[in-house]
Amino acid sequence: MTKFNKILITGAAGGIGTILRSALHPHCELLRSSDIVDVEPATANEQSFSFDLRDRAATMKAMEGIDIVYHFGGIPAEDTWETIRDVNIEGTYNIYEAARLNGVKRVVFASSNHAMGFHRRETIVGQDEPTRPDSRYGVSKVFGEAVGNLYADKHGLETISLRIGQFRPKPTNRRMLSLWLSPADMGRLAVSCLTDQKLHFEVVYGVSANKRSWYDNSGGEKIGYQPQDAAEDYAKDLGQVDLQEGEVEAAFQGGPFCSDEFDGDINDIR
């Protein structure tokens, strides 16, 4: 076990949350799995705690006695501004404030590739390039990274911001060859976030070992993340099948999140 012996997962009922539960329970003495619905405990050291991220008092209660939070709860795709604001933005603020007040040591925040979606596909991005959200959802992930940076600087609350690519059992189109994240590598990534190394604020790309990756993942190397799966292994199976992408969708890393509602000038986006 590491020094992070008591773990809280938000969004534990989701697809990634299920992987987190399985990967993390051998490494802790307490696993508190939470979602807006009840989560059936699968192991002796697991607790279920249902709460709404918008409820500050309940968020405080969920955080009691916790060493590290894996914040994967929230709206997982584009939605109305009001929904994104209330759950992904206000809810993430509640997580960080409750973590601070409860003396939590580290937050692992589920950011997204959509925080960088309007970077062009020929550009390799790492930790230092500016965020370029492609949607209201992407904006909420930029906010989450910003509040994490604030709490790291002002309160010493360590943060690992995971810019998750596309989490699927296998790639299903050619765009995924650049940003696929396998279930097994998601488990490896989650365990890597338990590193005892002193951290401040780290950006890590949640992708597998993809030959065509758009990312410089030096943050992943710092926490010891070593992905074992590779999207290229599935490239031949995809053949010539592609997304039938339009001009905007094909130009940017965020794909359909960029083209949705787009009425700007593609030539103005460098």
Active site residues: 137
Q: Are strands 106-112 and 201-206 parallel, antiparallel or unpaired?
A: unpaired
Rounded-to-integer distance, Cα 211 and Cα 235, Å:
11
Is residue 4 within 8 Å of 67, Cβ to Cβ? yes
Sequence-ordered list of residues with C-beta below 8 angstroms from that of 52, at least 6 positions apart, any chain? 36, 58
Rounded-to-integer distance, Cα 98 and Cα 121, Å:
38
For 42, half-sphere exposure in the C-beta direction (CA atoms, 13 angstrom radius) is 15
Quick one: which of 5, 69, 82 has its CA closest to 34?
69
